[in-house]
Each structure stands twice: as structure tokens, then as C-alpha cells.
Structure 1
Amino acid sequence: MKKTAHVVRRYLGICCLLAGALIAVSATTAQARTGKVTLTDKIQQVPPRPALFDKTTQPLTMEQCVQCHFAVFNTLKASGNRHQKECTFCHEVYHTYAPGKVEYTDALPKCVDCHGYPHGEKEDTKTCGNCHSNAHAPLNLPSVKQDLCSNCHSGPPQQLKEFPSKHTDLACTDCHTKHGFIPSCLSCHSQEGRRPYHLVGVEPKVCLTCHAGPHKPMVIAYAENTPKEYCGNCHKNASHAQVYQTVTKANSKHNTEITCAACHDTHGKIPSCFKCHDQEGHRANLKDEDCLRCHTNPHDPMNISFIPTETKEVCGGCHTEVYNTLIGSKTRHTNQTCSFCHPKHGLIPTCQSCHGNPHGEAMVAQFGGKCDGCHDIAHKIKGRMKDDKQGSLTEAGKKGVLTSGQKK
């Protein structure tokens, strides 16, 4: 009996809940039919639907982008180069960055979409930001590391390694302080730069007249018509300065008709005399050291000098006909060195300087005052030559007999 009463009470409770819900739904339906909705005070303050929803809107213009991103625009304006385009050319979708959902790097446009991999597909070069740290100033590379330059510019590092110089020890950024900047040689190599330099007041292009380039500066080459002044002003050490002074004062074709480069066609090379001069008029099989026994200074070749004891054979190398005549004459002159009579090249001595006047002035006068009227030439004497015992020789002549090597 008690169980039945409990079930009845539970059933009546459920019926009451259903009846309440039905009444509430009926009231809401009635309100909907009349168009009236119960709103809070805040909702009642919402303005009417904007008219903009009835118009067709356009995307942001570039001027509108600039109004917010003016710093970016100024950078792009100053250093954008070919990136000076409409913002939406790169940023097709923008303002999508959402922390935790869309990361910043994912929201940015990708360089590879336009440029691909122009510098190769190494990991260093695929990461454009390693060098191009600001896409709005793509050619300003303030943070480039030395070891990254060669990824794009392989030629200069290879030259610096292949042709070592002091430039090899420098970092690329020591000279190229900004990407694309080609410094003047004079920024270092000048009186102001306090590094080794040559010409004063010279333009940098003159440096490249001789130096093959800044990445192989010790490779020196030049044209044959390079002025002597360039060589003289560069070689300021004592030996080279003396060379320049000597050659410019010399009375020879080495000064008046040719340049330094005509002989020294390779920097630092000492040429053979026979590069220009054949052996015509000289003895056969001459070597450079033979030339220098008389032409002691090739920069003043006509200033010929020799030691007093120089052998006749050396002189005969050039004066072949005279040498053969002297050797064939078999006189006391044959036993003398050439330099005994000719202490200076080109000097023709008088017979009297050694022999005095053994025949008297009257006899000599009959032959025009010249000994060769009877004795022919000095290299082939005719007639008997008296020795020093008869007093026919001067003091100079007696020295010649004593040094002749001939037995008395």
C-alpha cells in the first residue's frame, strides 16, 4: 500500500514539471507571434545595422598600409631596391599572426616563392635571413659573417687563397663595410690610410694598371707602354730609386726610346741582354755576364768601364777585327792589355804618351806629325820597336813593358 502511494506521488510530480514547461513554451511562442522580444538594457543600446553592410568594400590600399606601418615604408623607400612594390604583392594575406595558432614566421611571405634558391641549396644559403636580414632593405647586409660571403661570391676567396698576400689575412667586411660597396685603394694605401702606397695624388684606377686586382694584388702585370714614372714612383727603396735616376739621365736608347716594361715584361724579372741585342759585331757565344764586364750598368749601357787587368779576349769579343790584327802582329803591343792603352772606353791615346819622340820632331813633321806615316797602325806596328834599355820609352811606356809578361 505504501509503495503504491509513493509511485503515485512521483507520477504527479513529473506531471507538474511537464505542465510548467508547456506553459513557458506557450508564452514564448505567443511573444514570437507578436514580434516582441524581452531584451536587457545593454542590448537595447546597440545601434541600427550599419549601411556599410549594403556596400561592396575594397581591400586596403598601399597608402592605408603606410598609415600604420610608416617605419617599414620609410625603410622600403630608402633601401628597398626592386622590393619597392605594392604591399600586397608579397603580403597576399596579412594580419594572420595569432600567438599559439599562427606563428610569426609562418605569417610572413616566403622569399623562395619569388626568388627560388639563387645561391644554391646549402642550409646556409637557403636561410635568406643569414645575410638579407631585412626584406624591406634586401641589399643592406649588416650582419653578414665572414664565412658566409663565399657561399655566393666564390671567386674572390679562391683568388685570395691561390695568390697569398696581406689581403688574404683580412675579412671581407674589413674592406666591404657594406654589401656592394667597392672601396678605394687609397682608403688604406695612402698617406692618410697609413699603409704602403706609391704614387701621391694618383687615382685608384692607376693602381690597376699594374696590380691585377685587390684579391690578388701581388700578381703584377702591365703594358709595354707603361710610363717609366709609374715604375720610378712605386719603387721608392734606395736601389730602385737609383735605377730610375740613372736610366732617366743616361745617354742611351734605354732612356730615350724604351720604357722599363719593354725590358722587364714580367714584374721582378731580370731579362737577358740578348732579348733585344743580338751578337752581331761581338764574339760568338757571349753570355749576359760577359756583357756586364764592360756594360756594367744596363740602365746606363753606354757608360762602359772595365778593370785595368781585363783580358784582351774580353775586348776582342766586341772589337773582333782589331783583336785579330793585334794578335797577328806579334809585337810588344800584342803583350799589353787593351786597357793599358785605352784606360777609358773610346779613348785613343797618342803614341807619345808611352814612346815620347824617339825620332825627333823634324822627322815626324815630314809625315804630318803622325807616327803612322811609317809605323802604320798601333795594332800592327811596322819597323823594329826599341826596348826600354835604349831610353826610347816614357815612364808610362816602361810600365807597359814591365807588365807585358814578355821576357827581356
Structure 2
Amino acid sequence: MAIWGKKKNRETDPESREKRKKTGPIRKLRQKFRAIDWKNPVNRWKLLFVSLVGCIVIFGGGYGVLSFTNSPSFCSSCHEMQPEYTSYTASAHNQISCVQCHIKPGTVNMLTHKMKSLKEVYYHVTGVPTQIVQTEEEAVSSQNCLQCHSKNRLVTASGDLKVNHKGHIEEGIPCITCHSGVVHAKMASRGINTEDVRGDWTQASAEKLMEEKYLRPNMGTCINCHDQVNNGVKPWKEASYNVPLNPEEVEKKLEENKNASSGEATTATATTETVKTETASNETEAATLTEHDQKTQDIILQAIGKQQKDVKLSMACETCHKKVKVPKSHKVEGWNGNHGKTAIQQVDKCVNCHQDSKWVREIPKEDIISLLKMKETKTKYEPNLNVVKEQARINKFCSACHSDRPSGHSESNQWLTGHAKKALTAEQKSECFVCHDNQKPVAGSTTPKAATDVYCQYCHRTGFKSAVNN
């Protein structure tokens, strides 16, 4: 006998069976549903009506939610998207919704994207990233662009460039490889959409931050891509080539490399290794810079027709530019050797075309505060030899040719003994100092390096009879 009394048999006890028969609301509803006389036409019409209302509520509500989350106003509701939304409203694409660019066409793609976007809600609640950067998976697809734009365009809207859009698309080159800044002005690459400056993006400031040079395709991208194709590489095959670098990932990799290089060395060994690493890093950086300069000069020589190579894609300016107009002054005999005087008078016009900084694909980091404070000032250029001298040394268009020995210098031994007649006047000396320094260059000097390491006082150590312009 149990302590608390005799145990009841649940199978035979009528009270236990009755308790088990007691049902919840779901079971009761099911029982009522089964008790309905479905042979009665009225009951069948009631079921149809209820089902119809239910479908309208479910699908209508779902469509309403999708429509609301697809609207630009929903995107702007998150403060971290203020730079992206503000630049969008100031762009030429402000009449279309965000999803028309950022979600591939099709219902399945729409629903899939909504599910993936839940992580953005998670970030919004737990911690917004320092900078919003488009990932490889979320890169704008060419399918989105082709919803509005035709691929059968051979000339750009400006009428200047000849671009076979169809050929590029059929080759698999994404539209954003060239047109990555058309809406947001490459703000991520410029570093002006970080957390600390999001409040500076207003309708008034957007016009100043949305510079034309960042909205239009970057010529450096064209040159970089064409050069790689000529070397047997198709860079657009790598998704990372088409989107800006994620600063957090870059910082993470640098930190990992730093930790890996540190190892478990002792303090003394670690110090020695650090010095060696820094030295090797400086040497590598210098070698990379030299290689980059040489490569830039090679491309420039191709562009101006000074260097011909058997290449797949021509790098000459007229290959892509429809309106390349060579100034009349360039067509005179001996222009290559006598353009110095013209450069002094109007070097500001020269650099409009002959500016190698326009040929670089990488976008430099910018300070948004400085950009907003910057005032547009138009300064009139006054002939200045020092300005021309500096351009001749730092501008790859100039140094590409100035680094070679001029034809007028003849043989070294003859020129060495006879060049004094070419440098009698101050004006003649000034022309010499475009490529040569008077005194030995000082290491670490801010003065741009001369095209040649031959300087006057290397031989004229006792000085000159007359004053020398430096």
C-alpha cells in the first residue's frame, strides 16, 4: 500500500478518463469545425468568404511591408544611412528607388534579400559599423542597370568617349567597375561616410561633396584594367576589384599580420627583428613606388604615341576619346624640343590634359571638414618658372620625356666642353634648371627630385663668374 493511499489505475478510473477528455481552445475549435455540415451551401460560402478575407489580410499586409521597406524613406530612417540617402537624393538617380539598384530583379531575389537584410537590423540594434561599405555579395548587378539603360551604346552621353558598352557587358565586366560613383560619389573609398561625420551630410553639403570627378568614370580605372588585360589578366573576375575595400577587414588583416610577425621572440630579438622588418618594409615601399612610376611613364609614352607595343588594347588617347584636339601650337616643327617657353606662359592649361593624377585608379582619403570649408577660388596663373620646374619633376607626363637625354645635348664629351654657350643668359640657365639642380640635392629635402642626378656644382666647384638662378 502506498503511503498516500492506493494508486488509482488511470486506464480504468472513470475520473481520469474524463479529465483527459477535457480539451483546450484549439481542440474545441477543431471539433466545432468538424461538426459543421459542409453539405450546406451556406456553410461552404462562409468558408470561401473567410478564406478570401484571410488571403487579403496576409498577402496585402505582406505587400504593404515589402513596399514600405523598399521605399527610400525607410532607408533614411536609420541614422547610419544618412550619407548614402543624402547623396542619393542629390544624384541623377533620385527618381528611382534604392531597391531598383540594390536588389536583383525577381520576387525570389527580393525575398532572399529581405532575409539577408535581417543582419542589418541586428547591426542597427547591437552596434553600427564604423563605415558602411558595399560587400562583394551585395555589389550592384548589371541586371539592375540594364532595366533602364541600353547596352547598345557606343558613345557616352557627353559625346567625348567611344565605349563599346555591349562588348564590355558580353565580356562579363560589371557596370560598377566603371560607374561605381554614379550615385554615392565613391564616398566609401574617400572615407567620408564614417560614423564621426555622418551628421555633416545634409542637402546643402551634398552638392559640395558630390564632386563631378567622383560621379563620372575614373580614367585610372580604364587604364588599370586595359593594362592588366594586355598582360593577360582579367581583373574584373575578382569580385573585390569592383567594390571598395572594407576598412575594418583591412585593419583586421594588418593586426593579424602584425601579431604573426611578432611571434614569441625575446625583447632584444624582437627589437632587432622590428628594425629589420621596418627596413625591409621601407625598401619594399621604395621599390614599389619606383615600379609604379616606371609603369606610369610607360603608359604615358604609349598614350602620346612615343612607345608602340603589340598589345590587345591600345592605350593611345584617340582609341577612346572621340574629341581629342591637338592644339595648333603642338603641330609646329620642333615642338618636342621647344615647348618650354609655351609651358612657362600657360602651364595651367597644359596640366588640364597632361596630369598623371587623373590616371590613377586609387581614390585618396579625404577630410570631410576640409572639403566643406574649402572655398572655390579661381586664381589667374602668372608665368612662373619655379611652378613649371616643379611640374616637370613631379608630373609623369613631363618626366617621362625629361628623364631621357635631350637630342640637342649631342655626345657627352662634346656637350661637356661646349654647353657653356647654351647657358650664357639667365633665361638660358633657367631652362637648364628645369632638369638640373645647381647644388647637390639634400637628402630629405621637400624640393622635388630632378630628372637627372647631374648638378652644376659637381663640376663647377669654384662657382660661376655671374650669378646663377637656382
Task: Kindly indicate whether structure 1 or structure 2 has the higher relative contact order, using CA contacts under 8 Å at least 6 residues apart.
Answer: 2
In our comparison, the structure showing a higher alpha carbon Rg is 1
Superposition TM-score, scaled by structure 1 size? 0.25
More helix per residue: 1 or 2? 2
Superposition TM-score, scaled by structure 2 size? 0.22
